[in-house]
Chains A and B, each alone.
Chain A
């Protein structure tokens, strides 16, 4: 199948040069053409939708009937006084056109001869920050717009922080509406410096500042005659050359099971998307959290069995033996690198308009697993966007960013977000309203709470008696074997001592012979009671 797909794409690429410009109108990225996902963000009215509309317009992506509709709609638009209003290409909802703002993220698809683009136009209003974060979660590059007249705002910092947190590696600072500040180089330099002051902490791979006018097209495709002092790259140049994050994760195989495929009595396969690494028939895997081992027998797809599955593919795996695997479990390479646990430290973006207050029943969804979860709200470290300082708080409001510990009801397989977006990103769902209330990023396994934490009611509520009861660490068979071996050794000792004291072989044999029977039973019972007594145990389960 994949060979056929590649052939089709190569054919699409072999169009003669003259057709290539037109081909931009209908992107069909060939195998050789890379894909860049980017977002535009910034405060309200900074011109994000206008920028993308202008990019689409300049790239000749728009078709005749769409242009006709744009001209017609622009006449009705109050925002440009009848001139072409490029934002109308993006603001697809009636409420957005009425208010002249973007409410929800819109995805657009276009390409240049060099590259295919998926662009997410995201809202600027603080109350719609969640939609902005959604767009950023899959982006390789972010264009952060600033109105040259207003400079860096709190919303600029917030967006910078969110894109950094979500792993977007390339930033373009677009200082827009330069035409309204007389194309002042001084203004541009000041904004650039103010932005770099806080953006530099964020570990971006690249940060380019461009002075522009999205409405007039300055420095989008060609250098602006009005700003001869700017000699850096144009926006299109940056978009065409930015390196997307390496597609492959460094992790070994992780395969979250979405669906157990039972096709007839003889077929039992596990369907999902390979989140990282690669798998071949014969590879040893473990099912987590159960820990059971098996080998890959077949990698089944509609187009035939595969010799190898790679990251991003969605095949069905057949194992060489029956083990217990269900939806939400993760099949992982048997190399001991995958981690499963109930407690994790994480960063959280609270997205609901209703504050987090500890009483909410929440579900954690990560990979294909959905489990009840509790947040340790007592010790949350909440970020103050304007100062960068952190405060300890017990509640979260809309758009708050916090670091905290979460505890799932049952173990979940997770990875650090920086290692895997697929197994490191999660959402929280309100059980009562079914609303998605937060998105979060896994950091590390969190330690078990200490005794003090129990007092806050933060950690597990276990009855006092339960603290003294443990699961036996050894089997009854082993305890019995220990009893026999200990008694055999002990009774030989008793025989020798008895003989030395009494001098009678017969008496010594009678003592040690009786003792060996009764004391095996006593030892066994004694050992089994200790096995179930919790205090003093060193837990090796982690």
Chain B
């Protein structure tokens, strides 16, 4: 028999999950964060419902601090796929001047990401939200279910998760509860890149090495994407050849020096990598349990 290859099996499993969640949802939504995992998720959603369009909108929680190239890419992909794009910003947080540095840095993620996401889910009444998180990203994610139940307040209760044997997903919810669904649970970072290469999936150009203006701040290379990032005394943007392994808010996302300018070179670089992708994320380093705490409070 023609057994499926590893990537084919992962693809089929994800498509199965997406259809199952959609079939039982009242108002599903795809959380689109513009990064590589979202790109794969969007591609799989298109595959799951071909020749129809995916029967749900995309939601982007815009902190207003994303790289400009990300926003341009987002709008282009929405047009190409013909899917509805909903963009939500926590206007209250913006008015209060919450920014990812200085005094408000500590509450920035809570207000502009977690709060904003909860606002958007409540505003539109989404009961099932697809996310591109993978179990290999982080330890508390490794404990996450594919179908993860959230309370009325969007909280995750890691001690009380539903058993999920085989590929049988319990999609029932109590009134007020919602589901976060992670079709890429069993993918690794290397799988994601191998799949992007094989399927020729468009990704934000920031993943590819290019000369970019950066400053080095406590060991992290930050890209100066616009003039809103206040430079510290003595900091002067220099042009270096860098790329990003993950994409988020530009003042919180570290670049890596790299010459990998094509998908093939990225895949090759990945295989020699000695650090994990989340190392470039400044928010994960607060404490060992920081991701778990954020997730309990409703973060993705």
Contacts and interface: CB of A to CB of B under 8 A. Distances in A.
B240 interface: no
A491 B15 CA distance: 68
A4 B142 contact: no
A109 B19 CA distance: 25
Contact of A302 (B46, B142, B200): B46
B50 A134 contact: no
Given A92-B292, A109-B188, A267-B51, A433 B174 contact: yes
A528 interface: no
Interface stretch (A26-34, A210-218, A443-451, A511-519): A26-34
A50 to B, nearest CB: 15
Contacts of A5: 5, 7-8, 11, 195, 198-199
Given A26-B189, A104-B161, A94 B276 contact: no
A252 B12 CA distance: 20
Contact of B165 (A108, A278, A427): A427
B143 A312 contact: no
Contacts of A133: 163, 165
A12 B23 contact: no
A356 to B, nearest CB: 15
Interface residues of B, number: 74
A104 B194 contact: no
B170 A26 contact: no
A9 B142 contact: no
Contact of B135 (A30, A73, A107, A300): A107
A466 to B, nearest CB: 32
A104 B270 CA distance: 30
Interface stretch (A15-23, A233-241, A477-485, A492-500): A15-23
A93 B292 CA distance: 7
B156 to A, nearest CB: 11
Interface in B170-197: 170, 172-174, 177, 185-186, 188-191, 194-195, 197
A106 B165 CA distance: 13
B142 A107 contact: yes
B172 to A, nearest CB: 4
A8 B174 contact: no
A382 interface: no
A193 to B, nearest CB: 32
A19 B22 contact: no
A301 B275 contact: no
A134 B164 contact: yes
Given A23-B271, A436-B163, A439-B165, A262 B12 contact: no
Given A11-B267, A31-B6, A433-B174, 18 more contacts: A9-B5, A22-B272, A27-B190, A28-B188, A66-B276, A93-B140, A93-B159, A130-B163, A247-B3, A259-B23, A264-B52, A267-B52, A314-B15, A314-B19, A316-B50, A425-B168, A434-B177, A439-B165
Interface of B: 1-9, 11-12, 15-16, 19-20, 22-23, 46-52, 135-136, 138-143, 158-159, 161-168, 170, 172-174, 177, 185-186, 188-191, 194-195, 197-200, 264, 267-268, 270-276, 279, 288-289, 292-293
